[in-house]
Chain A
């Protein structure tokens, strides 16, 4: 992506202390949702032009929040729950990097659900017992294997589902055993080409509603126990969506199949292009 000059503004202090003051080393911006930035950080804002690449990047990455920040000479791309540092540029320019997985062009499956139809692969009705997690992992591993996901993606799927179910047990149900959790997996098929697109995982529970603040994750620079499950899920899956409907928590995660190499694959296993 080309560099473009965009307007920058100094991060305003939302905490009340004057910027640059010695005590003002931790600012909490309502845009960065839980991340703490130094007074040196500058928030890049999109220009009004419809051609502004920062605006286009923002639209492409919706519904996740994108914040590009210059901090001590490095540009940080902050997404809700993610934090990536990439080589910076001067303060006069903004280098906007869209995540690589979002830049794969036409063969990247769209986030528009209307492009896919889904086929139920399996449904598990389980209870909120930690002992069930090993069974869930084994089942998901087999399900993902049947779709010919590469090894790394297979581990990512298993890890995400394990973390998601563990979160339901710990947080939604506060550790209480024997409460219902429904896990269903759907194969996604591209409508145009009838090729397999990916795996959609839906998790439903009747526990406490999730605290939106806690869904933002935490900075990984802090070395402390806890708060990593959500980060693992967001790093491992292509889509992670939380919602609530009819007093139930709903979690939707999607892992898309990468395009197969030309010399491999039977037709039915080739992902969407």
Chain B
């Protein structure tokens, strides 16, 4: 899994690619929580367009990120979910808990 950060003033876009599973979710968690808690980004956008697979550990990391963002008064926004990722979000019944947008343009204009 690769993570590329595109920071801007007060917000950051994290471009994720590959699989978010037990092997890689700790890395995503660390980066995500770093942006929220240490860098105090007001908005963190997660680009999941190139994420092929996510498992329950990846979902758990996203939930941790969401809780941290709410504690910090910031926003965690997801966009570009593939059908496989969307399916997992629906199985977890989290599709209405997270802010999810179709693409980067919609997410940034939110």
Least CB separation from B29: chain A residue: A225
Q: Are B91 and A166 in contact (CB under 8 A)?
A: no
Q: Does A30 contact B (CB under 8 A)?
A: no
A81–chain B nearest beta-carbon distance, Å: 12
Q: Does B102 contact A (CB under 8 A)?
A: no
Contact with B along A150-193 (1 / 0, CB 8 A): 00100100110011001001100000000000000000000000
Given contacts A225-B61, A225-B63, contact A232 B56 (CB under 8 A): yes
Contact with B along A234-271 (1 / 0, CB 8 A): 01100000000000000000000000000000000000
A228 is contacted by which of B21, B56, B66 (Cβ under 8 Å)? B56
Measured between beta carbons, the chain B residues less than 8 angstroms from A155 are 84, 87
Q: Does A131 contact B (CB under 8 A)?
A: yes
Q: How far is the CA of A269 from the CA of B90 in the complex (A)?
A: 30
Least CB separation from B62: chain A residue: A225
Measured between beta carbons, the chain B residues less than 8 angstroms from A236 are 91
Q: Are A223 and B19 in contact (CB under 8 A)?
A: no
Q: List which B60-82 residues lie within 8 A (CB) of chain A.
A: 60-61, 63-64, 66-67
Q: Does B5 contact A (CB under 8 A)?
A: no
B23 is contacted by which of A133, A220, A223, A232 (Cβ under 8 Å)? A133
Given contacts A133-B23, A137-B53, A166-B57, contact A225 B91 (CB under 8 A): no
Measured between beta carbons, the chain A residues less than 8 angstroms from B94 are 223
Q: Does B93 contact A (CB under 8 A)?
A: yes
User: Which residue, A220, A223, A225, A236, has most C-beta atoms of chain B within 10 A?
Assistant: A225
Measured between beta carbons, the chain B residues less than 8 angstroms from A224 are 63, 67
Measured between beta carbons, the chain B residues less than 8 angstroms from A231 are 56, 91-92
Size band of the interface chain A makes with B: 20 to 34
Q: List which A193-251 residues lie within 8 A (CB) of chain B.
A: 220-221, 223-229, 231-232, 235-236
Q: Does A130 contact B (CB under 8 A)?
A: yes
Q: List which B26-44 residues lie within 8 A (CB) of chain A.
A: none
Q: List which B75-110 residues lie within 8 A (CB) of chain A.
A: 84, 87-88, 91-94, 97
Q: Are A163 and B63 in contact (CB under 8 A)?
A: no
B63–chain A nearest beta-carbon distance, Å: 5
Q: Are A130 and B63 in contact (CB under 8 A)?
A: no
Size band of the interface chain B makes with A: 20 to 34
Least CB separation from A175: chain B residue: B22
Q: Does A90 contact B (CB under 8 A)?
A: no
Q: Does A146 contact B (CB under 8 A)?
A: no
Q: Are B97 and A223 in contact (CB under 8 A)?
A: yes
A235 is contacted by which of B55, B91, B97 (Cβ under 8 Å)? B91
Q: Does A62 contact B (CB under 8 A)?
A: no
Q: Are B88 and A131 in contact (CB under 8 A)?
A: no
Q: Does B48 contact A (CB under 8 A)?
A: no
Q: Are A131 and B23 in contact (CB under 8 A)?
A: yes
Measured between beta carbons, the chain B residues less than 8 angstroms from A221 are 93
Measured between beta carbons, the chain A residues less than 8 angstroms from B55 are 159, 162-163, 166, 229, 232
- Starting from the known contacts A130-B22, A228-B59, 13 additional A-B residue pairs (CB-CB under 8 Å) come to A133-B22, A133-B23, A137-B53, A155-B84, A162-B55, A220-B93, A221-B93, A223-B94, A223-B97, A226-B60, A229-B55, A232-B55, A232-B91
Q: List 6 A-B contacts (CB under 8 A).
A: A137-B19, A155-B87, A158-B53, A163-B55, A223-B66, A226-B60
The 4 lowest CB-CB distance pairs between A and B, nearest first, are: A225-B60, A130-B23, A228-B56, A229-B56
